[in-house]
Every structure is written in structure tokens, then in C-alpha cells.
Amino acid sequence: MDPLKKSRLEGGALPVLYLASASPRRRELLELAGIPFVCEPSRCEETARGTPQDVVEENARRKGEWVYARHPEAVVLSADTVVYLPGEDRILGKPADALDAADMLRALSGRENRVYTGVAVLGPKGCTVKCECASVWFDALSEADIAAYVATGEPMDKAGAYALQGRGGTYISRVEGSVSCVIGLPMTLVRAMLRPYLGCP
């Protein structure tokens, strides 16, 4: 049931949280945390300029502002994630096609990458934007591994062309930092940012 309708039936205060994302992973993380929300993806123009932290923080802010402009009475949560290759100073977003995905996976093979997720919360108290980073180590991938993984279609809508929570996780040897950050929404940070508005535990 829509959280807004459920709240009206129960006679409680209206939930005010909008998630400015179409990502099923972010929706699942909020649902697992028991945080009621309404999903409204942002259609803002995103940027790819700056450091990884600059990029994800600016994009998270832009996404949140797009939705908040339409729901100024609400609280809006937005996020953006990129994968960064420190040795090459290269930011990996979502692959453009299968060839691009395969190229990203070759670059990730046998080495560390860093996942940056920016989070923005907008509401009556203003706009707060923060970033969290986690490190991920990949096993060495053969061309057969890469071709088989790309053929599943899983890499196509993922930053860095992999999903830790999916088949991509079978190629990962180690993670340092928040697993939910790698998935796309660092939940410890999110709870802290939402607490002033929603009293999240």
C-alpha cells in the first residue's frame, strides 16, 4: 500500500519522505530499514566534472532539488554513485553499451576500486549533502568471465558495470567500508541524515 494512504488510514502523521531515485537497490535498502517513502525519480541534468566526491555530491543535490521543487512540503532523499580507479584517476559511471561494460570490467580486474556515494537530504531545515566511500577489490577476470557477466545484462545499469549484491559479487575478494554504500545508499549515513526529520532509529 502507498505509505501516504496507509498513514491516512492509521490516522498518523503523513510520511514526508520522497526518494528521488529509480534504483531498485535503493528502494530495497530503505524497505529493509523499515523507512516509509514515496518513490519519485528525478529527471535533472547530471554532471561528470570534478573529483569523485564532487560529482556524487553535486548530482545528489541536483536530483534532490528537482524533486523538492515539486514537493516543498516534504523531505527528499537523493543519492548518486560512481566507481573510481585511483591509479588511472578515472571515474566510471554506468556503461553506455556492452562494449563499454566489458572495458570497465577489464579495468577493474585484479585491482582495487573505490565506490563513492553522495547523499542529499532536503527539507524545511535546508539541504544537507554528504559523501561516503568504500574500497572494493576484484579478482582477476578472464575474457570468458567478462563476456559471461556482460551477457547477463546485470552490468548495464550499474556504476562501474558491476553489482555487489548480484552476480558481480562473486568476482569480489574484499570490501572495506559500508557494503550498502557500494550498493548505492549508505544506510548508517542515511539514518543519521534523516533522523532530524523522521526520527529514524
- At residue 99, the 3 state secondary structure works out as helix
Annotated catalytic residue 80: yes
Residue among 30, 18, 3 nearest 76 (CA): 18
149 CB-near residues (< 8 Å, 6+ apart): 105, 141, 155, 162, 167, 168, 171
Which residue in the list 54, 80, 139, 145 is annotated as catalytic? 80
Give the Cα-Cα-Cα angle 23, 193, 15 (nearest 5 degrees).
70
Classify strands 112-123 and 75-85 as parallel, antiparallel or unpaired. antiparallel
Question: Helices 98-108 and 143-151 meet at what angle, rounded to 10?
Answer: 140
Q: Known catalytic residues?
A: 80
